[in-house]
Amino acid sequence: MIRRRRIPIPRAWLTPLAVIGVVIALAWVLIAVTAPLWIPYAPNAQTLPRLQAPGIDTLMGTDSVGRDVFSRLMSGASVTIPLALALVAVSLTIGTTLGAVAGYFGGWVDEVLMRLTDLVMAFPTVILAMVIAASLGPSLFNAVLAAIVVSWPAYARVSRSLVLSLRQQNYVIAGRLLGFSPVRSLLTDILPNIAGPVVVLATLDVGTAILLLSGLSFLGLGAQPPTAEWGSMISSAIQNFDAWWIGVFPGLAILTVVLAFNFIGDSLRDILDPVSGGAREAAATTAVAPGQPNAREAVA
């Protein structure tokens, strides 16, 4: 009799927050991919009554020019989420590459790259992104470029510190003695061992990227009308405070996506860093009321 081998699922993925985060994130990704196929109205169609409250015909109401908020919200997911993921991927690639090179070679290479990193990090993130986006011109593409410029230094700092702790390990030194080139040593010996913390940082940074892009669009430096984008939808709600649904639903969408990726990032951290995860679990089990036995004492 052949037994099927079960793939073990880490306990961190079975926690309520992890399950909620994965479900919400997958739901929004599915919406972003399939929204153009099933939304009831065209996102820019101005065929409905203006400022109509949520109801049967319009689940989330209409805006000041008669556009369906629900259709624009679902269509906006196809804009905001892919751009945020692309932003994080590009920032991760640039920052990890520069940080790994700086940590591996050291010397003047490290000094030049880290001083450049410090120069970018010396400015407040949002202010610098606003300045870059404004100088390039208001557009969604320029907003993404501005967000990339201010996002890569965090990855450079993390990857450099990890490479500094790994480059003197025995297996890295053994690779050099075997004749590995610096590129091969970085790709085969170092990068696989720093991937965990960098991936966790990238997952947590997806929410930050969505907030940054939405903030730039809210200020008029990102998506331009009539593009359906969550930040620009909230910005249009300022002129119609009585029509609460115009800004509330895009705000809730941003909130759910950010929370979902934060939950996933926390779960990934527990999986890829079992030491810290075990420390948190031990702290939770020992935090009991005074005079009450903890779990170990109860078993004894």
Write down the pLDDT at residue 298: 35
83 near 231, Cβ under 8 Å?
no
The whole model's pTM is what? Answer: 0.84
Write down the pLDDT at residue 2: 53
Q: What is the DSSP string of 212-245?
A: HHHHHHHTTSS--TT---HHHHHHHGGG-TT-TH
Task: List strand residue ranges (DSSP E) for the chain, in order.
Answer: none
Q: What is the spatial distance between Cα 39 and Cα 128, in angstroms, rounded to a whole number?
A: 36
Q: What is the spatial distance between Cα 190 and Cα 196, in angstroms, rounded to a whole number?
A: 12
What is the length of the chain? 300
The CATH code of domain 15-34+80-222+255-273 reads: 1.10.3720.10
pLDDT of the chain, 300 residues: tens digit per residue: 455 566 666 676 778 888 999 999 999 999 999 988 899 999 998 888 999 999 888 889 999 889 999 999 999 999 999 999 999 999 999 999 999 999 999 889 999 999 999 999 999 999 999 999 999 999 999 999 999 999 999 999 999 999 998 888 888 888 888 888 888 888 888 888 888 889 999 998 999 999 999 999 999 999 888 888 999 999 988 888 888 999 999 999 999 999 999 999 888 888 876 544 444 444 444 444 444 444 333 333
Residue keyed to tokens 């399939």: 34
Residue keyed to tokens 């903030």: 215
* ∠ CA 153-157-96, rounded to 5°: 75
Write down the pLDDT at residue 289: 43
- φ/ψ of 298, rounded to 5, equals -65, -40
Write down the pLDDT at residue 174: 87
Q: What is the DSSP string of 162-176?
A: HHHHHTTSHHHHHHH
Q: What is the spatial distance between Cα 93 and Cα 86, in angstroms, rounded to a whole number?
A: 11
Q: Using a CB cutoff of 8 Å and minimum separation of 24, what contacts does 252-256 make? A: 253/28, 253/73, 253/76, 253/77, 254/80, 254/210, 254/211, 254/214, 254/230, 256/24, 256/28
- φ/ψ of 63, rounded to 5, equals -95, -165
The token pair that represents 266 in the structure block: 């926390």
Picking from 196, 191, 154, the residue whose alpha carbon sits closest to that of residue 12 is 196
Write down the pLDDT at residue 279: 44
DSSP 8-state code for residue 188: I
Q: What is the spatial distance between Cα 217 and Cα 224, in angstroms, rounded to a whole number?
A: 7
> Which residues have CB under 8 Å from 254's CB, separation 6+?
80, 210, 211, 214, 230
230 near 249, Cβ under 8 Å?
no
